[in-house]
Amino acid sequence: MNLQLEPIFQAAFSKLKPRTALPPMHIEFFPFAGLTHTARLRDDLLYIRVSDLLDGAPQPVVYSLALILLAKIYRRTVDTSHHETYRSFILTNPMQEKAKEARTTRGRRPKPAIPKGRWQNLDVNFDRLNARYFGGKLERPRLAWSAKRSRHILGRYDATYHTIFISALFDSRKTPDFVLDFILYHELLHVKYPCRASNCRMLTHTPEFRAEEVRFEGYQSATEWLRGI
């Protein structure tokens, strides 16, 4: 039991269920690989783990988190101000840096990045895009094919390990160069325009990102082709 967390979670429980006796709680800080928290109810005992990155956080932030976690268990509604309090804190630059460091040092190490697939070589696409759209100045990220042939996640950028994954669906001789170029170009824009906090949420596609995305030659043709997959 963490004596720092216990009274905060007890107060949050009483707020959500004022006419119910406090259940026994097992609460602890835990070294998750990032800002992860868990709350489970087993045999009327609450098991709660809070990321140790919040150790020393202001009490209102931890209280808001307690309300959010317990509300999920007991199917209660929490005022949006508590979500704003929590997210405003974790989206600050110092907390984001701490979270990134935790993901890097505690997370699972990435597999070797292999850009060359059976039919396509992402290094070739990168060199072409870097020269044409980034003046040859963009640092080459790790390029790899995903393990699955996903039709929903066409590509993603992992900022922690500076790695771009492209769906193995496109490692095909039937994939036009301009389509694979566009998918990789989209992910390279995530490298150039990192996510940033805005209005208590993380903005993934900034206005600058969107403005530059449509500069891709063949943008309309590529998006239409992708709608047909």
pLDDT tens digits for range 203-223:
899 999 999 999 999 999 999
Set out the domains of the chain in order of their start, with CATH numbers: 6-106 (no CATH), 122-227 (3.30.2010.10)
Residue-wise pLDDT tens digits, 172-205: 999 999 999 999 999 999 999 998 877 777 889 9
pLDDT for the residue numbered 1: 54
- pLDDT under 70 in the chain at which residues? 1-3
pTM: 0.76
What string of DSSP letters covers 168-190? GGG-STTS-HHHHHHHHHHHHHH
pLDDT in the model for residue 110:
79
Whole-angstrom distance, CA of residue 216 vs CA of residue 211: 10
- How deeply is 35 buried, as exposed, middle or buried, from its count of CB atoms within 10 A (0-12, 13-18, 19+)? buried
DSSP code of residue 54 = G
Residue type, 113: A
Give the CA radius of gyration of the chain: 22
pLDDT, residue 66, reads 98
